[in-house]
Amino acid sequence: MNEGLKVELRDYLGAPHQADILIVDDTIENLWLLTNILEEQGYEVRKAISGSSALMAVQAAIPDLILLDICMPDMDGYTLCQQIKSIPESADVPVIFLSALHEALDKVKAFSIGGADYITKPFQAAEVLVRTRNQLMIRQAMKAVQHMNLRLESQIQERTRALEIANQRLMEIAYYDNLTGLPNRALFTECLARSLEAVQADPDYRFAVLFVDCDRFKLINDSFGHLVGDEVLAKIAQRLATVLNSDDVLARFGGDEFVILLRQVDNTKAAIAVADRLIEAMKPSIPLPHLEVFITTSIGIVISNPIEHQKSEHILRDADIAMYSAKANGKDRYCVFTPMMQRASLERFQVETDLHRALDHGEFVPFYQPIVNLKTSAVVGLEVLIRWQHPEQGLILPHAFISVAEETGLIIPIGKALLDQACRHFAEWRSHQVVDDQFFISFNLSACQIAQASLPQCLQHTLAQHQLSPHHLRLEITETTLLNNSLAIAVITQLAQQGMHLCIDDFGIGYSSLSYLHQFPVKTVKIDRSFIQLIASEPHKLQIVKAILGIVDALNMTAVAEGIETREQLMSLEKMNCELGQGYLFSKPVSADITTHLLKTQIQCLQ
């Protein structure tokens, strides 16, 4: 028994002499003798000389103990005891029989009808007191136990209620999204499993799963913070729910992804109709305090197939693939899953797996394309271009893997390894005096790489490792990377402050305009090949290039013409005083060894 229970039991028992004792005996002498014995010990004593008067006394106030004679004229002690025990309120009052009857059968009968003890007359005062005290102690202990049982029952009920509330809360946490109140992935998966079971039971039954992803939602979090993002997500959930029927299940899978189970669809057309309504519902702006937000969605649609979709993960996989296909095709649209999409997804997965292996084995190598001074024909720099030296497929060009590398973030370690190799080659060319101190390498940066706040420090470290200066490295960035991207602008500003030379790549095909080109710390503009290739045959292309060159010159920048393939193109650019150019007319991208040979050959020609 723990200490708290012991203390409570002791406090509840109290002192024995506080008890109320009823003496029932038709002999006055016995009554007074017992009364004196008990009162001397401090007990409260009541007396009754008959069974009927004893019943009245019990009903008036339940005693703690009854001392009962057996042989009485109107009602014997056995009968009185039975009646007392039949009253619920007094059923647990201990009864000690005092009688001159000393046969064993008398005692057995007394105990059988509920007697607690038996004292044979003539009695000794000490015996009466000891037996009285024992019964009172037992009764008080019983009351204490009953009291504690009631308390325990109350505590158990309270804890049971608390557990029920906690269990309900755990169920909410386990099965519902805290932000939107929608079912989460776990609950949706269970609902989906039941629908799959229904398809197996009835091959004619059809349902659909729609995977909904918010386009460019990360921009909201980056621009306004996650609290605003959460508020937008809650409103998106409300808006999506207005389109659906009560039987449909809308769940949030996490982030900006929602999944819908259309439990009853007749065909693909019906699911497409729902997707159209969902896309249309997202057209109006989402009003927030002091802010309006516009969100579009890309939706992947899958219709259940009892053969193809045996498990929940199968249909969710296909819905996810279809959603990414919708994104790849321009966003703000739906796409219905086809088996061809899965094959393409598997191919991309294989590319991703191979990229990891290739990175570990150093299979990415730099190729170099010369950048030429159009006036002197001297090679003044090199653009670094990536190639994948695959052990089985040979040399793989970037278009086959760069998009996967960017999506997975592998472009960051791949780019770091590539730049390290290029800087090592550059350092070797310098040490062998193949290039002078004004020579540079031009390196392409993706949006993923620019989004790294640590990029300036990483570039500084790489240059220092190979004893190169910032002016030896030119960084090429596309126009779209800078568009409405405050982080990218902050990073390139820091790079410029460190002395890095920044170039706008593929100029003219993106969202940029000459009117705000001066706002960025850019020193070089690379004119896209789509303009250069047609300047000799299409006058308006020539005029565009001439305009670009004029603005670039006015801003004290340098222009590089990309994709020069013919002498006619070269002559046109020379007439327009374009300073630098590159293209197949001079050299296609080549390996480091061939580049070394080209640079040495140039040195020999100059000598």
**3-state SS record for 67-78:** EEECCCCCCCHH
Q: What confidence score (pLDDT) does residue 418 get?
A: 97
- pTM higher than 0.75 for the full model? no
User: Cis omega before residue 122 (within 30°)?
Assistant: yes
* 43 within 8 A of 17, measured Cβ to Cβ: yes
* CATH superfamily of this structure's domain 3-148: Response regulator (3.40.50.2300)
Q: What confidence score (pLDDT) does residue 591 get?
A: 96
Burial class (CB in 10 A: 0-12, 13-18, 19+), 313: exposed
| Beta partners for residue 212, in sequence order | 258, 299
Q: Is the pLDDT of residue 38 over 90?
A: yes
Q: What confidence score (pLDDT) does residue 490 get?
A: 85
Indicate the residue type of 467: Q
Q: What confidence score (pLDDT) does residue 6 get?
A: 45
For residue 400, give the DSSP letter: G
Instruction: Give the rounded distance of the alpha carbon of 553 from its chain centre.
Output: 52
Class of domain 185-337: alpha beta
Instruction: Give the rounded distance of the alpha carbon of 408 from its chain centre.
Output: 19
pLDDT tens readout for residues 361-381: 999 999 999 999 999 999 999
Q: Is the pLDDT of residue 539 over 50?
A: yes
Q: Is the pLDDT of residue 7 over 70?
A: no
| Rounded-to-integer distance, Cα 51 and Cα 38, Å | 21
Q: Is the pLDDT of residue 393 over 90?
A: yes
Residue with more model confidence, 451 or 559: 559
Most confident of the ranges 75-84, 156-165, 282-291: 75-84
Q: What confidence score (pLDDT) does residue 605 get?
A: 56
pLDDT tens readout for residues 489-524: 888 889 999 999 999 888 866 555 555 577 778 899
Q: What is the mean pLDDT of residues 575-597?
A: 95
Q: Is the pLDDT of residue 321 over 50?
A: yes
Q: What confidence score (pLDDT) does residue 509 get?
A: 63
- Residue 1: strand, helix, or coil: coil
pLDDT tens readout for residues 185-195: 999 999 999 99
Q: Is the pLDDT of residue 183 over 90?
A: yes
| Rounded-to-integer distance, Cα 2 and Cα 14, Å | 19
Q: What confidence score (pLDDT) does residue 484 get?
A: 57
Q: What confidence score (pLDDT) does residue 538 get?
A: 86
Q: What confidence score (pLDDT) does residue 8 get?
A: 47
Question: What proportion of the chain, given as a percentage, has pLDDT over 90?
Answer: 63
pLDDT tens readout for residues 452-466: 889 999 999 999 999
- Residue 601's CB: how many other CB atoms inside 10 A? 11
| Rounded-to-integer distance, Cα 412 and Cα 420, Å | 12
Could you tell me the two tokens for 130?
A: 């000891």
Could you tell me the two tokens for 40?
A: 């001397």
Domain ranges for the chain: 3-148, 185-337, 367-387+409-606
Q: What is the mean pLDDT of residues 78-96?
A: 94
Could you tell me the two tokens for 545?
A: 């290039």
| Rounded-to-integer distance, Cα 46 and Cα 115, Å | 19
- Residue 303's CB: how many other CB atoms inside 10 A? 21
Phi/psi at 119 (nearest 5 deg)?
A: -115, 130
| Rounded-to-integer distance, Cα 246 and Cα 214, Å | 23
> Which fold, 367-387+409-606?
TIM Barrel (3.20.20)
